[in-house]
Amino acid sequence: MTNDTIPAARIDVAPEEACPITPVVGIVFSRWTTPILWVLNEYGRHRFVELERRIATITPKVLTERLRQLERDGLVVRTYHPEVPPRVEYEISELGRSLAPLFASLAGWSINLGKVEQARLDYDAREPVRGRRT
């Protein structure tokens, strides 16, 4: 505990981000990951096509990519059943499940979506006044 530990340093924070949660956001909230994790968490194990249908607007290619990434990050578990026809199942991992309270929090914040919508209307209503001074 001598003073040869980090010398207070500049407050410039990390070189990368001024924000400690950025890495988590990158992992958990990159495109399509939330619908996938939500579905797996909420409705349990799914086959590929089931996910595809459940999410509907995702293409198989992108679904594959995202599932790979989630599997790699340890948030999703992939199980291959060597049958004919082949069957693959995806389920949320324990690590993935640990995100549940977070998701619940997020869902809870949804009650504020109306305020956001209203803020947008207000903003758009007074913004045509070009120049945006004041």
- Alpha helix ranges (H) inside 4-131: 22-28, 33-43, 48-55, 60-72, 94-97, 100-109, 113-126
- Hey, is 81 helix, strand or coil? strand
Taking CB within 5 to 8 Å according to partner kind, which of its own copies, DNA, none is near residue 61? DNA
Nearest 10 degrees: Cα torsion 44, 48, 49, 51: 40
Q: Which of 15, 20, 82, 85 is close enough to bind DNA by CB under 7 A?
A: 85
Decide whether 2 or 134 has the Cβ nearer to its own copies: 134
Q: Does 30 bind DNA (CB under 7 A)?
A: yes
- Whole-number Å distance between alpha carbons of 26 and 74: 14
Give the Å distances, CA to CA, from 56 to 32, 42, 78, 87: 12, 17, 20, 20
Taking CB within 5 to 8 Å according to partner kind, which of DNA, its own copies, none is near residue 48? DNA
- Whole-number Å distance between alpha carbons of 107 and 115: 15
What's the closest the beta carbon of residue 88 comes to DNA, in angstroms?
Answer: 4
What residues line the site for its own copies (CB under 8 A)? Answer: 12-13, 15-25, 27-29, 34-35, 38-39, 53-57, 71-75, 80, 82, 95, 98-99, 101-103, 105-107, 109-110, 112-113, 115-116, 118-120, 122-124, 133-134
What residues line the site for DNA (CB under 7 A)? Answer: 30-32, 47-50, 57-62, 64-65, 67-68, 78, 85-89, 132
